């Protein structure tokens, strides 16, 4: 792309295609985020996607699809946020909501801290550590209205990482690809044990260079408290997923 004006107008246009309304001010912040993402990506591994158009569609607009599932929730946690997807993008979109972004890799947390400073965001908190550990260390059990997560683990494992963070009646918004039905079948026990129910599925797709990408967002509701033994430690989760 020639410059950030072009980046911003294509971003707004791509959002419109997916029925997502975004202001010029927020799109400008995402353009700065993109510049920093590409700059830091030269030093540390943040993303394999470096084409600016693909960053718009596969990262920014993709993350903004969560706005279709998020409503009144105010306190939101992103598990395995990586370079801030979807949590940082959503924090830019929703300055009135508070976000906690958790990741096991400290280098990514340092990058996210730079974004917070450069964009002067006051609604984002960062935590370095494994989700199944920091929940107890930082006293975050059932502390959030919603949890978001993209590309972190298979659904039964991910539900054990994420659902203990949300309050009863809160929701997990899980971003997945198109072959979700097999993962859902594999997750029946996890859903039962963790008192969860799949409330809704959102389907969307986009096309880049004649290739179609189909995606699903699962809206999973927590009906009752999480039994206190969950989440188990990493060794147990890995050895015997729910």
Residues that bind ligand SAM (CB under 6 A): 80-83, 85, 102-105, 108, 130-132, 150-152, 161
Which residue lies nearer to ligand SAM by CB, 132 or 219? 132
In terms of CB distance, is 109 or 193 closer to ligand SAM?
109
Strand order in the sheet with 211-222: 124-128, 98-103, 75-79, 144-150, 166-176, 211-222, 196-208
Position with the least CB separation from ligand SAM: 82
Nearest approach in angstroms of CB 153 to ligand SAM is 6
Residue by residue, what is the 3-state secondary structure of 38-91? HHHHCCCCCCCCCCHHHHHHHHHHHHHHHHHCCCCCCEEEEECCCCCCCHHHHH
Question: Using only C-alpha atoms, what is the Rg of the chain?
Answer: 17
Cα separation of 48 and 208, whole Å? 16
CA distance 40 to 9: 24
Nearer to ligand SAM, 152 or 194 (CB): 152
Shortest gap between Cβ of 5 and ligand SAM (angstroms)? 26
Q: How many angstroms separate the first and last alpha carbons of the chain?
A: 46
Shortest distance, CB of residue 102 to ligand SAM, whole angstroms? 5
Residue with smaller CB distance to ligand SAM, 2 or 239: 239
Minimum distance, C-beta of residue 132 to ligand SAM, in the bound complex (Å): 6
Residue closer to ligand SAM, measured from CB, 8 or 174: 174
| Closest distance to ligand SAM from the beta carbon of 159 (Å) | 12
Q: What is the DSSP string of 158-208?
A: HHHHHGGGEEEEEEEEEEE-S-HHHHHHHTHHHHHHTTEEEEEEEEEEEEE
Of the two residues 26 and 59, which places its CB atom closer to ligand SAM in the complex? Answer: 59
User: Two tokens at 17?
Assistant: 């295609």
Check residue 44 and give left, alpha or beta (phi > 0: left; psi -120 to 50: alpha). beta
Spatial contact of 36 and 114, defined as CB atoms under 8 Å apart: yes
Q: Which is nearer to ligand SAM, 150 or 171 (CB)?
A: 150
């Amino acid at each position: 792309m020639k410059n950030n004006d072009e980046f911003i107008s294509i971003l707004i246009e791509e959002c419109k295609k997916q029925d997502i309304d975004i202001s010029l001010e927020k799109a400008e912040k995402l353009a700065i985020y993109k510049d920093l993402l590409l700059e830091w990506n030269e030093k540390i591994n943040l993303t394999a996607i470096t084409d600016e158009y693909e960053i718009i569609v596969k990262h920014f607009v993709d993350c903004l699809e969560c706005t279709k599932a998020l409503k009144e929730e105010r306190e939101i946690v992103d598990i395995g946020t990586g370079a801030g997807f979807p949590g940082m993008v959503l924090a830019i979109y929703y300055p009135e909501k508070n976000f906690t972004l958790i990741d096991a890799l400290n280098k990514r947390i340092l990058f996210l801290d730079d974004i917070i400073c450069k964009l002067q965001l006051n609604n984002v908190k960062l935590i370095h550590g494994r989700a199944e550990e920091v929940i107890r260390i930082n006293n975050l059990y059932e502390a959030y209205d919603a949890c978001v997560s993209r590309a972190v683990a298979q659904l039964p494992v991910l539900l054990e990482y994420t659902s203990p963070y949300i309050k009863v009646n809160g929701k997990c918004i899980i971003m997945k690809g198109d072959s979700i039905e097999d993962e859902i079948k594999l997750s029946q026990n996890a859903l039962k044990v963790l008192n969860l129910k799949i409330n809704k599925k959102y389907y969307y797709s986009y096309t880049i260079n004649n290739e179609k990408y189909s995606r699903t967002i699962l809206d999973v509701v927590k009906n009752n408290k999480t039994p206190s033994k969950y989440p188990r430690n990493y060794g147990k989760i890995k050895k015997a997923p729910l």
